[in-house]
Structure 1
C-alpha cells in the first residue's frame, strides 16, 4: 500500500521553456535517480523541486503546497545540493558546518560520524577557499545531511543531490552510498542525478529518464533501463552487457 501523503507530489509541473508536464509522486524512504543527457533538464528539475525556480502546476511537500512553507520551515524539510557553487563562503570548514549543526543538539554524534567517514576531521580549521575540489564537495555533502537529519525517523525529509559524486574518489563515493542508504533506511528520501548507469540500476528504487525537459520513462530500474530506452534518451546506441549479475552499459562505436 502506498504511503500517504507522498513526500513530494508533482502535478503538471512546468518551468517555462525548460520543463514540461512532470507528474510524479515520491514517498518516504525512496531513492530516485535522474538519468538523461546533458541539457535534458535534470538540474532544472532538482532546482525546481527545491523551490528555487518559479514554476507552474502543483508542487506539494508532505501534503501541502510548497509556496505555503516559510523559508525556515522548508529548510528543515529539504536540503538542496546544487551541482555548482560559484562563490565559496569566506569561512573555515567548522564555521560553515556550524550553520547546519549545533554542537549541543542531538546531531553531535552524527556530525562526528560524518566527519570521520568523509575524512574531514583534519580539515575543520582550514579556510574553505583553500580546499581542493573533492574536499569542498565532501563538506557540502555533510552539510546537506546535517541540515535535515534531526532524529531516527526522517519521514518527510528529503535531499536533492545534483551530481554529488563529482570530484569524489572511489572511497568517498562508497561513503556517500553508505550515508544515502542510512538516510533512506531512516525513511528519508533522496532524489539524485548522475551519469553512472550501473550505479543507478543497482541502488535506485525508481528511475526518472529525461529528454528535452520531459520525463519520458519512469519506473523501477529493471523495468525502464533497457537498451531501447537508454539509447533514446542519450541519442546514441547503448548496449547492455549480457551478465545478469553485474550489469553495465557501453556505447556502441560511433563508426558502426
Structure 2
C-alpha cells in the first residue's frame, strides 16, 4: 500500500492526499502543466517536497537511495543515455541488488518481459540502434525488472510518467497488458496519462489535477464525468456508449 499525506511542491503542487492498495492501478490525469510529473517525482523521492509518503507504513523520507530502489521503481520522461551497450546488458543494470534468485529465474523473467513488450529480437542490438518506440519498450522492461516480485520481494510500487507517449497504437495495447500483469503480481502502479479513454478502461482509480490542485479522486466512473472533464480541460466532453462500453469524445462545436 502507498499512502500520501498532504504532499506539496511550491505552487506547482498544492497539498493533496490519497491512498492506493496493493495491485491497484492509479491514473493521474490533467491538462499540461497541471502537476502530474511533479506529483510522480515527489512520490518517487527524486525531488524534495513537503508532506509525507508511506510505502507499507515505511516513511519515504527515512529511506536511503538503496532502500528506495528496493521498494519502488520510477520511469521518468527521459532521453537514452550517452553510453552505448546492448539491450540485454542494459536490462541487466535493472536487476535488483537484493535479488538472490537463481539464474534460471532471472532468465525466465527477462524472457517473459521481452515477450510482453515484444523485444525478443532486439536483446543483442545496441540501444543506440533502436527507434523511439523500441527504446521505450526496453525501458519499460528494465523498470519492471526492478520491481518483479520473483527477483525483488520488497517491491511495492511502480511509477510511470506518461509511458505511452513514444508508443504507437499497437504498442499501447502491449503497454496496458504489461501494466495489468504487474498489478496482478501485487505491485501498485501509479502512472501519468493523457489518454482519458485508456484511463476510463484500464484504471482502478483516477486522480484528476488542474493547476496543481486535486480536483477529484476515485473510480474512473466517478472522476471521468462529462461535467468534471469539461470544466477541467476547458472543452466540451461527451460520454457515449459503443457496444456497451463507455467512450469519451471531445466536441469542438
Matches within 5 A, 1:200-215: 200-215=199-214
- 8 Å Cα contact 1:154/1:186 also seen in 2: no
Within-5 A mapping of 1:1-256: 7-85=1-79, 87-101=81-95, 104=103, 106-151=105-150, 157-243=156-242, 245-253=244-252, 256=253
After superposition, what is the alpha-carbon deviation per residue over 1:15-63, rounded to whole angstroms, capped at 9, x for unaligned?
Answer: 1121111111111010000110111111111111110111011111210
Deviations 1:120-168 (A, max 9, x none): 2221222212211001000000011100113299685111111111222
RMSD value over aligned CA atoms? 2.1
Whether contact under 8 Å (2:8, 2:51) holds in the other structure is: yes
Normalising by structure 1, we get a TM-score of 0.90
| TM-score, scaled relative to structure 2 | 0.91
Structure 1: state its 5+ residue gaps: 1-6
Q: Secondary structure at the match of 1:39?
A: coil
Residue 105 of structure 1, CA deviation? 6.2
Give distance in 2, aligned partners of 1:152 and 1:87: 25
Secondary structure, in 3 states, of the residue corresponding to 1:22? strand
Provide Cα deviations, 1:188-216, integer angstroms capped at 9, x if missing partner.
Answer: 11011112111111111110000001211
Measured against aligned partners, the alpha-carbon deviations of 1:211-235 in whole angstroms (never above 9, x if no partner) come to 0012111111111211111012212
Please tell me whether the aligned partners of residues 230 and 237 of structure 2 are also in contact (alpha carbons under 8 angstroms). Answer: yes
Cα distance in 2 for partners of 1:88, 1:234 equals 37
Contact 1:107 1:150 in 2 (8 A): no
Give 3-state SS (helix, strand or coil) of 1:91's partner.
Answer: coil
Does the Cα contact within 8 Å between 2:34 and 2:212 map onto a contact in 1? yes
Q: Residue 241 of structure 1 aligns to a residue in which SS?
A: strand
Give the number of equivalent residue pairs: 248
Give 1:246 deviation, angstroms: 2.1
Distance 1:63 1:238 in 2: 39
Change in CA separation of 1:214 and 1:154 when aligned onto 2, cut-off 3 Å: farther
